[in-house]
């Protein structure tokens, strides 16, 4: 059996757009020692692919972390497959709040050194001595206590569009970056309740154990993360202390938890919390763009990218060959001056060549 999907991405996108199959988007994770991650990866791919599951799953010696979508009619069969897979039996499945069923176009399962890149040496501390799991009701109660510090363990582009009231939101690009910065922020508050949260709970599993190792005793973590919190708030009629959108790592790029719009368009500053990727394949920056700017720049993040993206496909491909991406550090949600400079340089070179170029039209 083929254990990879090798169909062209554009074909898959068209198939998904035309599909009327009702699907359920969900996420899950489990820390567990896996002796042979590659063997487990192949086993998991074969089982899930047979059920029409799509999505992205990481497998490592320390466990498994996945975001997937499953045909609604196969949901119970998938749950049974997980229950039959030893350590995944009874695993919590965080079901999406807003879901059009088109969050993924194919199944990708990769073997990684870790299921979340944290930069920590796990042998240096007890990763099982984690913080106390709390549900939505307990979270609200602790959040109202003046002796509590709430910490968002996500990245800046996630918290920019939504976060809990009063939360500390570190200006970081990665989870690895956040750990030392959050520790410095929390050091003056070691005697207080530390209340941390993330998207689905996986980052807090490791972070809470790390902070307890670093001397913080009253560490609490939102069980199931924002996704499970939103579900419990709806189900139990609780006060919703989360404002805005919950950023998610699939084609949706976000699910709305409240009507509040906390962010602004990165181009004009208008209230907006819609993430998109720059349509210029030489850039592909994740950024926030309002409808007016999306129309003006045709989905691109800058005038340079807009101009580059209107060149014929073959011309773009040739120019991309001359862009040295090794000197460009990728930052989600932040304009990359070096890359913009390289794109501008290629545009100047093209203009100086005096070769006639027909720009793409909107109809193209």
* Domain residue extents for the chain: 9-111, 122-244, 275-352
The predicted structure's pLDDT at residue 364? 43
The predicted structure's pLDDT at residue 55? 96
pLDDT along the chain (364 residues), means of 10: 80 90 95 95 96 97 96 97 94 92 94 94 91 97 97 97 97 94 95 96 95 96 97 97 96 95 97 96 93 97 94 92 66 76 87 67 44
Dist. CA 86–CA 207, nearest whole Å: 26
Helix (H, G, I), strand (E, B) or coil at 8: coil
The predicted structure's pLDDT at residue 331? 60
Dist. CA 102–CA 22, nearest whole Å: 9
The 10 Å CB-count burial string (b at 16+, else e) for 22-48 is ebbbbbbbbbeebeebeebbbebbebb
Query: Quick check: 254 and 157 in contact, CB under 8 A?
Result: no
Tokens of 112: 């990684």
Dist. CA 293–CA 268, nearest whole Å: 7
Dist. CA 235–CA 223, nearest whole Å: 16
Supply φ then ψ for residue 360, to 5 degrees.
-65, 145
Positions marked catalytic:
198
Domain 9-111 -> CATH class: alpha beta
Q: 122-244 — its CATH code?
A: 3.40.250.10
| Order of strands, sheet of 193-197, starting from the edge strand that comes earlier in the sequence | 132-134, 219-222, 193-197, 148-152
> Distance from CA of residue 72 to its chain's centroid?
23
Query: Quick check: 45 and 107 in contact, CB under 8 A?
Result: yes
Dist. CA 183–CA 192, nearest whole Å: 13
Q: Write the CB contacts of 122 (distance below 8 Å, at least 6 apart in sequence).
A: 62
pTM above 0.85, yes or no: yes
Pairing mode, strands 219-222 and 132-134: parallel
The predicted structure's pLDDT at residue 163? 98
Helix (H, G, I), strand (E, B) or coil at 222: strand
Dist. CA 338–CA 323, nearest whole Å: 10
pLDDT in tens, 282-329: 999 999 999 999 999 999 999 999 999 999 999 999 999 888 765 554
User: Which H or E element spans position 346?
Assistant: helix 337-352
């Amino acid at each position: 059996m083929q254990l990879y999907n090798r169909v062209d991405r554009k074909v898959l996108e068209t198939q998904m757009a035309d599909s009327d199959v009702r699907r359920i988007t969900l996420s899950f994770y489990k820390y567990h020692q896996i002796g042979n991650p590659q063997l487990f990866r192949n086993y998991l791919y074969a089982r899930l692919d047979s059920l029409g599951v799509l999505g992205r799953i990481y497998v490592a010696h320390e466990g498994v972390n996945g975001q997937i979508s499953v045909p609604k009619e196969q949901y119970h069969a998938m749950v049974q497959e997980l229950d039959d897979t030893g350590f995944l039996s009874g695993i919590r499945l965080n079901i999406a709040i807003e879901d059009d069923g088109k969050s993924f176009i194919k199944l990708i399962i990769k073997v990684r050194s870790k299921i979340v890149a944290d930069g920590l040496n796990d042998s240096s501390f007890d990763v099982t001595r984690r913080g106390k799991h709390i549900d939505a009701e307990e979270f609200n109660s602790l959040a109202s206590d003046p002796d509590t510090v709430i910490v968002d363990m996500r990245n800046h582009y996630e918290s920019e569009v939504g976060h809990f009231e009063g939360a500390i939101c570190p200006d970081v690009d990665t989870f690895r970056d956040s750990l030392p910065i959050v520790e410095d922020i929390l050091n003056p508050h070691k005697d207080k309740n530390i209340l941390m949260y993330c998207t689905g709970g996986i980052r807090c599993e490791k972070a809470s154990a790390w902070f307890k190792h670093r001397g913080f005793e009253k560490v609490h973590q939102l069980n199931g993360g924002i996704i499970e919190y939103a579900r419990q708030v709806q189900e139990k009629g609780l006060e919703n202390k989360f404002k805005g959108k919950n950023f998610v790592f699939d084609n949706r790029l976000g699910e709305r938890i409240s009507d509040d719009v906390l962010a602004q368009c990165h181009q004009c500053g208008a209230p907006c919390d819609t993430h998109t990727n720059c349509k210029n394949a030489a850039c592909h920056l994740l950024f926030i763009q309002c409808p007016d700017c999306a129309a003006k720049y045709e989905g691109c993040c800058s005038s340079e990218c807009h101009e580059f993206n209107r060149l014929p496909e073959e011309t773009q491909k040739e120019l991309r060959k001359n862009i040295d991406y090794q000197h460009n550090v990728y930052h989600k949600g932040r304009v990359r001056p070096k890359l913009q400079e390289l794109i501008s340089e290629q545009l100047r070179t093209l203009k100086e060549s005096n070769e006639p170029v027909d720009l793409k039209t909107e109809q193209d």
